[in-house]
């Protein structure tokens, strides 16, 4: 017994347990826990951009405006039980909207306050020739906001989660909903 | 050579025997000063063993340093130790050679990995230290790390009887998010915490959700704009008349009461029964314990069964009952009770009890291997075999390590403050019925959340009284 046990333990001891790290392409789908991850963020962003650009309502709105609409990104409510950072896909949406030249973006409240502080300080400290003026901010036509919800069904170490992301693009002046996009990601997880 | 071997064995056994006192006793000088409340001397005693930073008790050395420095108000230095303890947990890999060695000696020779709740508490202290230094962004980083650790914990265990979700840590995350005005994430954290208190903590640790959590959940739901959820929880809590109010500033006061339990050793004698087939049974009839091992070799089976009784050592927790029965804060004539949010004593005891079968199996395998080694050597050299028997007996010990400077329970209260100067009394209830009062002054700016931690290191076990 002793010799066999020793052999077994020695074999275990020789098994290497060093950590390995491999770089993979950012668009590789890797699902480990079944929770919301980068693949989900990317899918939501890609689908929502596609929906937005193909929306006849949005195209019509831009045509009627006779210029590029100006969009501000508002709040994305998270009603799920996970701490999901909506910024991950919202930033992706912003990048594509900006690069597509379909619309102009203005800063959200998060950065706008910092810009206003900077402008206020310029009045006192900057060279008068370079001071930026108040009252020249570009006013947004549309606000993008939305919410994320999840429905969970859990039984015997099996779980189904349906993540629903809903985004609205609403006319700030009239409250008219110009575009409405919804994307679902359903996962079946077996433990 | 035959003479050298026993000498080496004897020396080896003496070295191993030094690892055989309970962990609490090996740290007697530190524990004495810490429990007495002399933190400077406790830190000196701790840091005299700085070689432990690289040894098998590295985690405990780091967290004890971190905790003592935090209680002393040296938050930056404290976080340096806690960061190392966090990285230790991240990078930990089982050293299989040590693991194998432990089966011939005892589990105290292995690197101490840390209990699940201990790794969460590392980040709890670290986040609190950042909050006290008003480094809110860094506290949020710890919050995100806590979230990952909580997810790992819930993935690790499947049984609902295990400690697999931590309601207090979710509450803490909510408190941090709320302090940062991230009400949406705060609401999510509070809602998760509430469900865990109701589902797990009430059943496993007899601990219900603090009342403050209900108010925080309602407030953050309302401030996020989650009106449907707000109405639902208002009705569920029976707080239909409640209306969220924003105070000028707030104080979140954490009270660390007493000290966590200490692991000690207990031994069980097992009788060996062979039965038909290849099984050997380890039996303790009084405790109703019965473990079967399969041995292919007939000689091994008969050798083991020739040894009538095995003594095997296992760990168990000894509670250090709290000295103070409760406490409240007093501010502008209002009393705010400190509500228990985490019972580390019960979590520790429950976690060990849940894995006791595994501990039994490991202990018995260790005993069987030791005895089999002894019997094999006896066949070749009676003296050497007998000596191994002595060494085995000396080295048979349980792993009695745990983070012993953690509090017994954590309670908290949130109170509204005014912008500017505030005076608050903290009142502790003594066992004989008296009160012990501390007076604190706080200066708050508008919308600021202040954090204060008060540690009562006294326990009913300790002859000393001390508090910070």
Q: Of B155, B295, B296, which has the smallest distance from its Cβ to A33's Cβ? A: B155
More confident call, B145 vs A5: B145
- Interface residues of A toward B, Cβ cutoff 8 Å, are 1-2, 4-5, 9-10, 12-13, 15, 17-19, 33, 35, 75, 77-83, 157, 191
Give backbone dihedrals phi and psi of A99, rounded to 5 degrees, phi first. -70, -25
Instruction: Let me know how long chain A is.
Output: 191
Q: What ipTM, to 2 d.p.? A: 0.72
Q: Is residue A132 part of a domain?
A: yes
**CB environment A112-122: b (16+ within 10 A), e (fewer):** eeeeeeebeeb
B255 SS3 class: strand
CB contact under 8 A, B225 and A17: no
Average pLDDT, chain B: 86
CB contact under 8 A, A79 and B226: yes
CB contact under 8 A, A13 and B300: no
Q: Tokens 């038909």, residue?
A: B276
Q: Of A4, A18, A77, which has the smallest distance from its Cβ to B224's Cβ? A: A77
- Return d(Cα B340, Cα B413) in angstroms, integer: 9
Q: Domain span at residue A48?
A: 35-190
Instruction: Let me know how long chain B is.
Output: 468
More confident call, B176 vs A5: B176
CB distance B124 to B169 below 8 Å? yes
Q: Which of A8-12, A35-39, B302-306 has the lowest mean pLDDT?
A: A8-12
Structure tokens, B446: 């508008």
- Return d(Cα B185, Cα B33) in angstroms, integer: 41
Structure tokens, B227: 């009106």
Q: What is the pLDDT of residues A21-68, one digit of tens each?
A: 899 998 899 998 888 999 999 899 888 888 988 899 999 999 999 999
Q: How many domains does chain A have?
A: 1
Rounded to a whole number of angstroms, the distance from the CA of B36 to the nearest CA of chain A is 42
Is residue A34 left, alpha or beta, with left meaning phi > 0 and alpha meaning psi from -120 to 50? Answer: left
CB distance B325 to B258 below 8 Å? no
Containing B363, the helix (H) or strand (E) segment is helix B356-380
Residues of A in contact with B230 (CB under 8 A): none
Containing B327, the helix (H) or strand (E) segment is strand B326-331
Q: Residue A6 — pLDDT band, cuts 50, 70, 90?
A: very low
Q: What is the pLDDT of residues B110-120, one digit of tens each?
A: 889 999 999 99
- Return d(Cα B143, Cα B446) in angstroms, integer: 24
Q: Which of B189-193, B235-239, B279-283 has the lowest mean pLDDT?
A: B279-283
Q: Is residue A152 part of a domain?
A: yes
Q: Is residue A19 part of a domain?
A: no
Q: What is the pLDDT of residues B386-417, one digit of tens each?
A: 777 777 777 778 889 999 999 999 999 999 99
Diameter of chain B measured on Cα atoms: 86
Q: Is residue A8 part of a domain?
A: no
Q: Which of A85-99, A146-160, B361-375 has the lowest mean pLDDT?
A: B361-375
CB distance B212 to B412 below 8 Å? yes
Structure tokens, B323: 């000295």
CB contact under 8 A, A78 and B185: yes
Q: Is residue A17 part of a domain?
A: no
- Return d(Cα B219, Cα B250) in angstroms, integer: 14
CATH number, domain of A78, equals: 3.40.50
Q: Tokens 């830190």, residue?
A: B43
Is residue B206 left, alpha or beta, with left meaning phi > 0 and alpha meaning psi from -120 to 50? Answer: left
pLDDT > 60? residue B88: yes
Task: End-to-end CA distance of chain A: give it in Å, rounded.
Answer: 36
Q: Of B94, B226, B297, which has the smallest distance from its Cβ to A1's Cβ? A: B297
DSSP state of B201: I
CA dihedral B300, B301, B304, B305 (to 10 degrees): -150
**Count of CA atoms in the C-beta half-sphere (13 A) of A123:** 7
Q: Of A1, A77, A191, which has the smallest distance from its Cβ to B372's Cβ? A: A1
Rounded to a whole number of angstroms, the distance from the CA of B375 to the nearest CA of chain A is 10
**CB environment B320-339: b (16+ within 10 A), e (fewer):** bebbbeebbbbbeeeebebb
The contacts of residue B135 (CB under 8 Å, 6+ apart) are none
Q: Cβ–Cβ contacts within 10 Å for residue B236, how many?
A: 11
Residues of B in contact with A12 (CB under 8 A): 96, 99-100
B183-203 mean pLDDT: 96
The contacts of residue A115 (CB under 8 Å, 6+ apart) are A107
Structure tokens, A16: 């290497």
Containing A74, the helix (H) or strand (E) segment is strand A70-78
Q: Is residue A15 part of a domain?
A: no
Rounded to a whole number of angstroms, the distance from the CA of A32 to the nearest CA of chain B is 11
CB distance B338 to B409 below 8 Å? no
CB distance B413 to B253 below 8 Å? yes
CB contact under 8 A, A10 and B100: yes
- 3-state SS, one letter per residue, for A144-162: EEEEEEEEEEEECCEEEEE
Q: Which of A9-23, A63-77, A119-133, B20-34 has the lowest mean pLDDT?
A: A9-23
Structure tokens, B172: 């803490």
Helix B116-132 and helix B58-71, axial crossing angle in degrees, nearest 10? 30
Question: Which sign does the torsion angle of CA B215, B219, B221, B226 carry?
Answer: positive
**Count of CA atoms in the C-beta half-sphere (13 A) of B190:** 28
Q: Is residue A20 part of a domain?
A: no
**Count of CA atoms in the C-beta half-sphere (13 A) of B339:** 17
CB contact under 8 A, A83 and B94: no
Q: Residue B305 — pLDDT band, cuts 50, 70, 90?
A: low
Q: Is residue A39 part of a domain?
A: yes
């Amino acid at each position: 017994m002793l010799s066999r046990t020793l052999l077994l333990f020695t074999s275990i001891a020789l098994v290497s347990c060093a950590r390995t790290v491999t770089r993979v392409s950012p668009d590789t789908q890797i699902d480990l826990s079944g929770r919301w991850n980068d693949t989900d963020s990317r899918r939501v962003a890609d689908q929502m951009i596609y929906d937005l650009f193909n929306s006849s309502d949005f195209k019509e709105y831009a045509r009627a405006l006779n210029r590029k609409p100006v969009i501000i990104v508002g709040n994305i409510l998270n009603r799920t039980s996970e701490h999901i950072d909506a910024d991950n896909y919202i930033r992706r949406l912003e990048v594509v909207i900006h690069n597509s030249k379909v619309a102009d973006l203005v800063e959200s409240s998060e950065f706008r306050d910092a810009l206003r502080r900077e402008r206020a300080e310029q009045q006192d400290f900057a060279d008068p020739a370079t001071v930026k003026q108040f009252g020249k901010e570009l006013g947004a036509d549309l606000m993008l906001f939305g919410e994320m919800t999840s429905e969970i069904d859990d039984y015997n170490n099996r779980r189904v989660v349906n993540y629903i992301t809903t985004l609205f693009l609403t006319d700030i002046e009239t409250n008219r909903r110009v575009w409405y996009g919804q994307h679902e990601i359903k996962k079946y997880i077996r433990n | 050579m035959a003479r050298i071997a026993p000498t080496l064995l004897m020396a080896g056994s003496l070295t191993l025997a030094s690892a055989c006192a309970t962990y609490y006793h090996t740290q007697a000088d530190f524990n004495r000063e810490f429990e007495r409340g002399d933190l400077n001397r406790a830190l000196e005693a701790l840091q005299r063993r700085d070689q432990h930073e690289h040894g098998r008790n590295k985690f405990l050395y780091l967290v004890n340093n971190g905790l003592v420095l935090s209680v002393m108000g040296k938050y930056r230095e404290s976080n340096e130790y806690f960061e190392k303890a966090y990285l230790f947990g991240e990078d930990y890999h089982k050293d299989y050679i040590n693991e194998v060695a432990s089966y011939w000696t005892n589990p105290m020779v292995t690197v101490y990995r840390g209990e699940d709740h201990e790794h969460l508490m590392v980040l709890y202290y670290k986040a609190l230290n950042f909050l006290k230094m008003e480094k809110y962004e860094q506290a949020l980083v710890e919050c995100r790390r806590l979230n990952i650790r909580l997810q790992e914990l819930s993935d690790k265990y499947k049984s609902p009887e295990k400690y697999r979700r931590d309601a207090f840590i979710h509450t803490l995350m909510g408190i941090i998010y709320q302090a940062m005005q991230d009400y949406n994430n705060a609401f999510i954290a509070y809602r998760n915490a509430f469900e865990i208190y109701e589902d797990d903590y009430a059943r496993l640790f007899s601990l219900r959700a603090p009342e403050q959590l209900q108010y925080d959940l309602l407030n953050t739901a309302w401030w996020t704009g989650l009106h449907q959820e707000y109405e639902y929880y208002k009705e569920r809590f029976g707080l239909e008349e409640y209306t969220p109010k924003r105070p000028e500033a707030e104080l979140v006061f954490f009270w660390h009461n007493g000290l966590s339990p200490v692991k000690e050793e207990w031994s069980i004698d097992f009788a060996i029964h062979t039965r038909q087939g290849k099984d050997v049974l380890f039996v303790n009839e009084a405790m109703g314990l019965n473990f079967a091992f399969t041995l292919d070799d007939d000689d091994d089976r008969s050798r083991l069964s020739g040894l009538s009784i095995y003594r095997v050592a296992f760990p168990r927790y000894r509670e250090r009952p709290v000295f103070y029965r409760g406490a409240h804060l007093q501010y502008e004539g209002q009393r705010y009770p400190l509500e228990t949010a985490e019972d580390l004593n019960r979590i520790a005891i429950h976690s060990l009890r849940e894995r006791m079968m595994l501990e039994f199996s490991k202990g018995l395998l260790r005993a069987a291997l030791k005895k089999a080694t002894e019997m094999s050597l006896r066949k070749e050299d009676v003296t050497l075999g007998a000596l191994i028997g002595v060494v085995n007996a000396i080295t048979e010990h349980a792993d009695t390590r745990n983070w012993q400077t953690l509090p017994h329970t954590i309670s908290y209260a949130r109170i509204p403050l005014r912008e500017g100067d505030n005076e608050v009394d903290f009142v502790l209830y003594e066992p004989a019925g008296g009160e012990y009062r501390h007076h604190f002054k706080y200066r708050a700016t508008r919308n600021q959340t202040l954090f204060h931690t008060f540690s009562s290191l006294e326990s009913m076990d300790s002859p000393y009284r001390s508090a910070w």
